[in-house]
């Protein structure tokens, strides 16, 4: 899951990003509405955590832009404006959910995951191929009925490969989907994660590699 945090209070933005990354999400952070619009045009996000009172482009205007877009991104407004009237006005603008500050972090995580499930054209809840079954929301995976015990990143890589199967995903594709803007494009982190995932999936091997093309789940 890829999340864009749009929050002009930098300390809070970093706390949000760190906490959401700990939950296995790929998180990008921007601090004004103009930069947020640029990121939304360049990347595919599942959920935007959006403050209302932003410099550049106000959060209300940005919310309208997102709601009017073709590739629908779910919007969670996270703002100090927490009266019932504020909530109603935010939802009227096109926000999919609304949470007032201060907030309980576990509730924020649950709301983000709920929005990702509701996103139009979301993948099926359980992904299956080659004897593998993966529930992305519960981060549980089995092969031939045996639990795999995957880490957060291994689970996310497996989800991406299953979602693309029988097609390929390049290392760059996996970095874009599973990691975030802080990932070094020259790192071998994808290859290392694929190697660990192969070991946990066991024999016979189901992840194939074509040099210069990428990885795929063999079916």
Choosing from 87, 118, 149, the residue where a domain stops is 118
Non-local (6+) Cβ contacts of 194 within 8 A are 157, 207, 209, 215
Choosing from 66, 100, 118, the residue where a domain stops is 118
Choosing from 118, 153, 179, the residue where a domain stops is 118
C-alpha 132, offset from chain centre: 22
C-alpha 180, offset from chain centre: 9
Domain identity same for 109 and 165? no
| pLDDT computed for residue 75 by the predictor | 95
Domain identity same for 42 and 11? yes
Q: List the alpha helices (DSSP H) in the chain.
A: 10-22, 33-42, 59-68, 84-93, 105-118, 152-164, 171-178, 189-201
Could you give the CA distance from residue 170 to residue 203 in angstroms, rounded to a whole number?
Answer: 23
Domain identity same for 162 and 179? yes
Q: What are the phi and psi torsion angles at 6 (to 5°)? A: -115, 100
| pLDDT computed for residue 157 by the predictor | 92
Burial 25-38 (b: 16+ CB within 10 A, else e): bbbbbbbbbebbbe
Alpha-carbon dihedral of residues 191, 135, 39, 66, nearest 10 degrees? Answer: 170
* Sequence-distant contacts of 179-186: CB under 8 A, at least 24 apart: 179/26, 179/153, 180/2, 180/21, 180/26, 180/27, 180/28, 181/28
* Sequence-distant contacts of 124-129: CB under 8 A, at least 24 apart: 127/159, 127/162, 127/163, 128/162, 129/162, 129/165, 129/166, 129/206, 129/217, 129/219
Domain identity same for 75 and 140? no
CATH number, domain of 31, equals 3.40.50.2300
CATH number, domain of 162, equals 1.10.10.10
Q: In the numeric block, which tokens belong to residue 88?
A: 């109603």
Q: How many CA atoms lie within 13 A of 194 on its CB side?
A: 20
Q: Which of 203, 172, 207 shows the shortest CA–CA distance to 190?
A: 172
Mean pLDDT by 10 residues, the chain (219 residues): 94 94 91 93 90 93 88 89 83 91 93 87 71 85 92 90 88 83 73 93 91 85
Could you give the CA distance from residue 31 to residue 54 in angstroms, rounded to a whole number?
Answer: 8
Could you give the CA distance from residue 127 to residue 115 in angstroms, rounded to a whole number?
Answer: 19
Q: In the numeric block, which tokens belong to residue 182?
A: 């802080």
| pLDDT computed for residue 121 by the predictor | 58
């Amino acid at each position: 899951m890829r999340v864009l945090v749009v929050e002009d209070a930098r300390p809070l933005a970093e706390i949000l990003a760190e906490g959401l990354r700990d939950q296995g999400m790929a998180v990008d952070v921007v601090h004004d509405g103009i930069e947020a619009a640029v990121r939304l045009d360049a990347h595919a996000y599942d959920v935007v955590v959006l403050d209302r009172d932003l410099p550049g482009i106000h959060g209300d205007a940005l919310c309208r832009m997102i709601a009017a877009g073709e590739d629908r991104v779910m919007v969670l407004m996270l703002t100090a404006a927490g009266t019932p009237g504020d909530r109603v006005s935010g939802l009227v603008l096109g926000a999919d959910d609304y949470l007032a500050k201060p907030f309980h972090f576990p509730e924020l995580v649950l709301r983000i995951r709920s929005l990702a499930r509701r996103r139009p054209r979301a993948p099926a809840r359980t992904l299956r191929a080659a004897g593998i079954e993966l529930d992305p929301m519960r981060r549980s995976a089995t092969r031939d009925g045996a639990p795999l015990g995957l880490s957060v990143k291994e689970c996310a890589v497996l989800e991406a490969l299953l979602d693309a199967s029988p097609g390929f995903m390049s290392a760059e594709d996996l970095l874009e989907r599973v990691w975030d803007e802080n990932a070094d494009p020259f790192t071998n982190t994808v290859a290392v994660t694929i190697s660990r995932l192969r070991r946990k999936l066991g024999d016979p091997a189901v992840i194939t590699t074509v040099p210069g093309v990428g990885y795929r789940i063999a079916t």
